[in-house]
């Protein structure tokens, strides 16, 4: 019998699948079979590797060779050179943009080397559809310890020592939440997992579920033991088909192994988990709205108190944690609360996962110790802003967060410190913006999202966010007037103080943070009828600068409205009456001659 000598850890997460992983895998299977290597070289489809910017990616084990930007047409050469002749293919290595140095080993690539993988420790390293591979990496050892060696009170105490705070956005201490539910009276209690991340630019929870679903199941089992619950639900958005598929497989395997259901590990403890698919309403990320949705009702928040730890799902004591929070739990129980608290800051312990996207070179998932600065995340890990553009801001916390400007880049990732600069940690979305981003338009975009996702239950959120959006629309269209800024500030203050739930209370944050740091752009829009970032179409007038024009005709050929006249060796001229302000000429001009 021929033993497998090489494993190809091929990323099969949603991002890489969209980039062509399926074609690459099919080509690999055919070529390995053709070369007689199918017994020696095994392909393993993993979950998200994290480095989305260079997908599809593949890690060759045990060598640790990292291949990026794979295509099916590269496969025959790759198989022949690397797996037949033992010569790794250099042209498929990662290339460091600054030094142009090729880096063959994944562990040496700056994107990975500056991170600390706790929540994502198994990402790209195991087959997420095989429970045995999770167990081989200390999987379910935390469950065994919690069920066989610890009381509910001891589990909760360990969680309190760890300092783990909810990673869904609010940052409430996890151990304290569990303690409240543990002390609540009643024989029926519930453990819920919020996998309904709806922030624009966020994909942390989806990727964890795709790459290591058993870690979340483990966390839920331990949480259930802590509060004496026998039923759990994972609330996952329907738009996450791969995550749901792998969760279903994981739950089935855990039941077959006696890790879910009756008498888990022979301890007499019963607990099972079901999946509830949400329809994608952002407001259902709020815990009480999520619970109403599971009950079959419209997802709308309810006033608190009573809090869910006393009256939650079906009016029974309930705890709700998000995917990232629960994925931390097994390691805390296995290694101890003090071990976990040894990383991070005084008030924010452990690591935090961010979905880094926008105007940044290395788009992907980033896990760093709490206290790491935003500059490290964006530049050392993210590789900085592409195309030699200047950094302008980073939106943290999604539509409920705020825009953090360049002067605050040395702010450490910490719940309190992030709040001081006008943003929130949120679930971990980080959208980077460059000099071409209009901050007024950015505030308008997020307010449009918040207004659209408002459940409409309370007047401050329903009507207040609509009015904020109307004013922002007016400013971006060149109809802003004196007093608009004051109205935005006053309305935002009222909404934050009077809205029923977190969606409304944090909804005005993008407006307030852009007013705080970029009020000059608001003034330019309102008083000068000018968009400094050249993004608000209504405020743009296109002209060709004769001294800079190279008379190449690129703009003339690209214009879809035939608004540009040009002849060889002559400067192009834009007819403003025909111009539809589509930005095509501005984008196509290589010489910066169109203003």
**CATH no. for 541-595:** 3.30.70.20
- The pLDDT value recorded for residue 3 is 64
Angle between helix 509-517 and 519-527 (nearest 10): 90
The rounded distance, in Å, linking the Cα atoms of 250 and 435 is 45
| Domain segments of the chain as ranges | 6-107, 131-341, 351-434, 439-527, 541-595
Look up the CATH architecture of domain 351-434.
Answer: Roll (3.10)
Nearest to 368 by CA among 114, 107, 167, 174: 114
The set of residues, in sequence order, having a beta carbon less than 8 Å from that of 153 and lying 6+ positions away, is: 182
Residue-wise pLDDT tens digits, 113-167:
999 999 999 999 999 999 999 999 999 999 999 999 999 999 999 999 999 999 8
Residue-wise pLDDT tens digits, 10-31:
999 999 999 999 999 999 999 9
Distance, first Cα to last Cα, the chain:
70
- Pairing relation of β-strands 429-434 and 391-396? antiparallel
| Pair 46, 94: CB distance under 8 Å | no
What pTM, to 2 d.p., does this model score?
0.92
The set of residues, in sequence order, having a beta carbon less than 8 Å from that of 74 and lying 6+ positions away, is: 89, 92
Count of positions (residues) in the chain: 595
- The pLDDT value recorded for residue 4 is 67
| Pair 344, 323: CB distance under 8 Å | no
Nearest 5°: phi and psi at 594?
Answer: -105, 125
Nearest to 309 by CA among 298, 320, 299: 320
Beta-carbon neighbour count of residue 400 at 10 Å?
27
Nearest to 117 by CA among 361, 324, 388, 357: 324
The rounded distance, in Å, linking the Cα atoms of 180 and 317 is 9
* Sheet architecture: strand order including 272-278: 272-278, 231-237, 190-195, 318-322
Q: Choose the CATH number for 6-107 among 2.160.10.10, 1.10.760.10, 3.40.30.10, 2.40.170.20.
A: 3.40.30.10
Give kind and range of the element (H or E) at residue 190.
Answer: strand 190-195
| Pair 111, 51: CB distance under 8 Å | yes
Residue-wise pLDDT tens digits, 167-199:
887 789 999 999 999 999 989 999 999 998 878
- The pLDDT value recorded for residue 316 is 96
The rounded distance, in Å, linking the Cα atoms of 93 and 103 is 6
- The pLDDT value recorded for residue 1 is 44
Class of domain 439-527: mainly alpha
**CATH no. for 131-341:** 3.40.50.11540
Tell me which residues of the chain have a pLDDT lower than 70: 1-4
- The pLDDT value recorded for residue 559 is 86
The rounded distance, in Å, linking the Cα atoms of 285 and 299 is 9
- The pLDDT value recorded for residue 281 is 85
- The pLDDT value recorded for residue 502 is 80
The set of residues, in sequence order, having a beta carbon less than 8 Å from that of 9 and lying 6+ positions away, is: 44, 46, 49, 58, 59, 60, 61, 124, 125
Nearest 5°: phi and psi at 446?
Answer: -70, -35
The rounded distance, in Å, linking the Cα atoms of 336 and 557 is 66
């Amino acid at each position: 019998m021929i033993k497998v000598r090489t494993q190809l850890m091929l990323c099969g997460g949603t991002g890489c699948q969209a980039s062509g992983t399926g074609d690459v895998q099919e080509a690999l299977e055919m070529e390995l079979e053709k070369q007689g290597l199918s017994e020696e070289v095994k392909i393993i489809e993993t979950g998200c590797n994290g480095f989305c910017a260079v997908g599809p990616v593949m890690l060759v084990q045990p060598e640790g060779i990292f291949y990026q930007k794979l295509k099916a047409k590269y496969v025959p050469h790759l198989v022949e050179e690397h797996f037949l002749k033992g010569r790794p293919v250099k042209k498929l290595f990662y290339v460091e943009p600054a030094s142009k140095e090729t880096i063959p080993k994944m562990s040496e690539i700056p994107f990975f080397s500056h991170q600390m993988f706790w929540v994502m420790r198994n990402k790209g390293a195991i087959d997420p559809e095989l429970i045995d591979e999770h167990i081989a990496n200390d999987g379910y050892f935390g469950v065994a310890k919690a069920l066989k060696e610890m009381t509910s009170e001891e589990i909760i105490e360990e969680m309190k020592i760890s300092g783990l705070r909810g990673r869904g956005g609010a940052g409430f201490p996890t151990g304290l939440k569990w303690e409240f539910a543990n002390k609540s009276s009643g024989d029926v209690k519930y453990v819920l997992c919020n996998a309904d991340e709806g922030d624009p630019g966020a994909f942390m929870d989806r990727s964890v579920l795709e790459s290591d679903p058993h870690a979340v199941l483990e966390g839920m089992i331990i949480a259930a033991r802590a509060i004496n619950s026998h039923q759990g639900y994972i609330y996952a958005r329907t738009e996450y088909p791969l995550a749901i598929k792998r969760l279903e497989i994981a739950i089935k395997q855990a039941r077959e192994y006696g890790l879910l259901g009756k008498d888990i590990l022979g301890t007499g403890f019963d607990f099972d988990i079901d999946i509830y698919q949400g329809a994608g309403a952002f407001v259902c990320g709020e815990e009480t709205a999520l619970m109403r949705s599971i009950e079959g009702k419209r997802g709308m928040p309810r006033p608190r108190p009573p809090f869910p730890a006393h009256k939650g799902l079906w009016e029974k004591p309930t705890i709700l944690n998000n995917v990232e929070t629960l994925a931390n739990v097994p390691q805390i129980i296995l290694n101890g609360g003090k071990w976990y608290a040894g990383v991070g800051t005084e008030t924010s312990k452990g690591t935090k996962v961010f979905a880094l996207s926008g105007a940044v070179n290395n788009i992907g998932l980033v896990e760093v110790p709490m206290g790491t600065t935003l500059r490290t995340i964006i530049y050392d890990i993210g590789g900085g802003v592409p195309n030699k553009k200047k950094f302008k801001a980073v939106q943290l916390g999604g539509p409920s967060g705020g825009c953090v400007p360049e002067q605050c880049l040395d702010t450490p990732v910490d719940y309190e410190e992030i709040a001081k600069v006008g943003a929130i940690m949120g679930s971990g979305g980080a959208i980077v913006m460059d000099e071409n981003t209009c901050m007024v338009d950015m505030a308008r975009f997020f307010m449009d999202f918040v207004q659209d996702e408002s459940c409409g239950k309370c007047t401050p959120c329903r009507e207040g966010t609509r009015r904020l959006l109307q004013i922002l629309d007016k400013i971006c269209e060149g109809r802003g007037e004196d007093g608009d800024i004051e109205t935005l500030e006053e309305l935002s203050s009222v909404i934050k103080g009077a809205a029923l739930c977190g969606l409304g209370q944090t909804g005005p944050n993008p407006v307030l943070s852009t007013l705080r740091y970029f009020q000059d752009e608001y003034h330019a829009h309102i008083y000068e009828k000018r968009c400094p970032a050249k993004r608000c179409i209504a405020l743009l007038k296109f002209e060709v600068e004769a001294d800079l024009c190279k008379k190449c005709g690129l703009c003339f050929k690209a214009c879809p409205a035939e608004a540009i006249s040009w002849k060889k060796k002559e400067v192009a001229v834009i007819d403003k009456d025909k111009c539809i302000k589509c930005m095509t000429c501005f984008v196509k001009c290589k010489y910066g001659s169109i203003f």
